[in-house]
Amino acid sequence: MKVLVSDKLAENGLRILEKENGIEVDVKTGLAPEELKAIIGAYDAIIIRSSTQLTEDVLAATKRLKVIGRAGIGLDNVDIPAATKKGIIVMNTPQGNNIAAAEHTLSMMLACARKIPQATASLKSGKWKKSQFMGVEVYNKTLGIIGTGNIGSIVANRAQGLKMRVVAYDPFISEERAQQLGIELLSLDDVFARADFITVHTPLVKETRNLINKEGFQKMKDGVIIVNCARGGIINERDLYDAIVSGKVGGAALDVFEVEPATDNPLFGLSQVVVTPHLGASTGEAQRNVAEAIARQIIEYLLHQTILNAVNVPAVSPEVLERIGPYLTLAENLGGFLAQVCSFRIEEIDIELHGELLEKDTEPIILSTLKGLLTPIMGDDVNFVNARIMAQQRAIKIREAKVKDTGDFTTLLVLKVRGKEAEHAVWGTLFGKKEPRIVRYDDFIIEAIPEGEIILVKNIDRPGVIGNIGMTLGKRGVNIATMQFGRDKLGGEAISLLHLDSTLDDKTIKALTDLPNIESVQSISL
């Protein structure tokens, strides 16, 4: 067995790998894409951090690669669908650097509040100018946390120790869980309005890109301080720059950036901005933790076929995986579909397994459903190992049922989610035992493939609606791959589900929403 370590890994991880019988380890860091393509075919496993880019092109050169291990959480640099298609397991280490990232967040917040880096630079240059570095206290201030997962919840706990009031926005946390954390759960706009400090702890996914932008800054208190130690791109950097220059934002503490490495960013020219070069996980303890964790996970899989912390397959034997693989894809994509059409906080999910599914090992199917449901908001933090736990931590009630009746289908998976405001349901099955399909959404009978870039349009059943949608997309150069339709009755409500060759921007979505007889337009990525 041969393992390639293509990014820097702590020595304890290398020692664990090298001492295992039959494991040959090559450390080759800083490889260009073409260099990596030339050698990757000789390895059974590769361990990476954030520098190595495992694109579809690179993965196409693999011949015997079985597993990709990320020493850390983020997997933005791995084409997970391409790896999955090639049967390559993708693992990460979601717990190893939580403390380090949370502590760095608080350090950055305090450094920005008290202007410590600016004062340090001034004094070291031979100046003693106390009046230029008047700061603000965090005591009795309100901290707004966007995203209360592993790291966000630790930040909340530590901030409470500083006697801060903590409010949060998280569409996947229940009131019960918020009470356990001692935080007040608010809408995003209310967090903007009430917080003196705002810190983000979400993954960078479609729903969170530019989550904080010009419109959001306008809703905030004057002098608010912004902290981002999560992912670049969650905060629109151009809008942040303008908000600081205008005086709306009092300061910002940034560890991550839209483009990295970041060495020539306009924000660096602002005295109110404190920056570090993506150091959230850069403690000796964190690096040793993730190195040891990923080394042991790689060994467990290569030598014993045990899957730990995989993001693209559950922990099952290869034989079981081969039997239920298509059902896992169906379950995960249906869960992801529901998560993205829900505008309310999900408090309950019913998972009904009908027909042939009763004969399968149902736990991986349940986990796939939960992973699909949580991933659009939580991103790489959720995997097949922790999906059930994370749902329970957010007090999402999970109900499972096995039903013999399948109606017109041999197999049926039915998911129903509820919140205080509303509920949605989706029915899915397999065509030809391999091809996943949505066969019903709420009250609408429809046949659609749950994958790719999709828009779901809800409209009044009137002549011309479909033509208007097509013309609007055509004028903007958006190609429609497929279209499916359903309606509850003649002249009643209808839905259109369109597969597109590209993701829609906000302006195109608004143009569709403004068309006659259109009730809503939702963008979904599966």
CATH of the domain at 50: 3.40.50.720
Dig out the tokens for 57 from the structure: 């092109």
**Residue 394 shares a structural domain with residue 256:** no
| CA–CA dist 315, 327 (Å, integer) | 15
Q: Token match 């005086």: residue?
A: 247
Q: What is the DSSP letter of 357?
A: G
Range of the domain at 520: 452-526
Amino acid 316: pLDDT = 64
> E-strand spans in 71-141?
89-91
Q: Count the neighbouring beta carbons within 10 Å of the beta carbon of residue 186.
A: 18
**Residue 89 shares a structural domain with residue 129:** no
Answer whether 436's CB lies under 8 Å from 326's CB: yes
**Residue 245 shares a structural domain with residue 113:** yes
**Residue 271 shares a structural domain with residue 241:** yes
Strands 273-275 and 249-254 turn out to be parallel
Residues of the chain with pLDDT under 70: 21, 315-320, 380, 385, 406
Q: Over the range 445-468, which residues count as b (16 or more CB within 10 Å of their CB) and which as e?
A: ebebbbeebbbbbbbebeeebbeb
**Residue 287 shares a structural domain with residue 348:** no
| CA–CA dist 439, 486 (Å, integer) | 10
- The count of domains in the chain is 4
Amino acid 201: pLDDT = 95
Q: Token match 């029915």: residue?
A: 427
**Residue 524 shares a structural domain with residue 425:** no
**Residue 172 shares a structural domain with residue 245:** yes
**Residue 110 shares a structural domain with residue 171:** yes
Where helices occur in 165-223 by DSSP H, the ranges are 175-181, 188-194, 214-218
| CA–CA dist 253, 267 (Å, integer) | 10
| CA–CA dist 472, 265 (Å, integer) | 36
**Residue 425 shares a structural domain with residue 354:** yes
Final residue in a domain of this structure, among 403, 420, 451: 451
- Whether the model clears a pTM of 0.85, i.e. scores above it, the answer is no
Amino acid 384: pLDDT = 76
Q: How far is CA 241 from CA 133, 245, 254, 273, 310, in A?
A: 20, 6, 12, 9, 38
CATH number at residue 440: 3.30.1330.90
**Residue 322 shares a structural domain with residue 441:** yes
| CA–CA dist 229, 201 (Å, integer) | 7
| CA–CA dist 129, 118 (Å, integer) | 11
Q: What is the DSSP letter of 504?
A: P
**Residue 235 shares a structural domain with residue 321:** no
CATH number at residue 515: 3.30.70.260
**Residue 373 shares a structural domain with residue 424:** yes
Contacts 24+ apart (CB under 8 A), 429-437: 429/330, 430/326, 430/327, 430/330, 433/326, 434/326, 435/326, 436/326, 436/329, 436/330, 436/333, 436/334
Final residue in a domain of this structure, among 275, 295, 325: 275
Final residue in a domain of this structure, among 275, 296, 324: 275
Active site residues per annotation: 231, 260, 278
Cα 475 to the center of its chain, rounded Å: 32
| CA–CA dist 475, 470 (Å, integer) | 9
pLDDT in tens, 36-88: 999 999 999 999 998 999 999 999 999 999 999 999 888 889 998 888 778 78
Amino acid 510: pLDDT = 92
Residues in the chain: 526
Amino acid 391: pLDDT = 87
| CA–CA dist 71, 11 (Å, integer) | 13
Helices and strands per DSSP (H, E), number in the chain: 17, 22
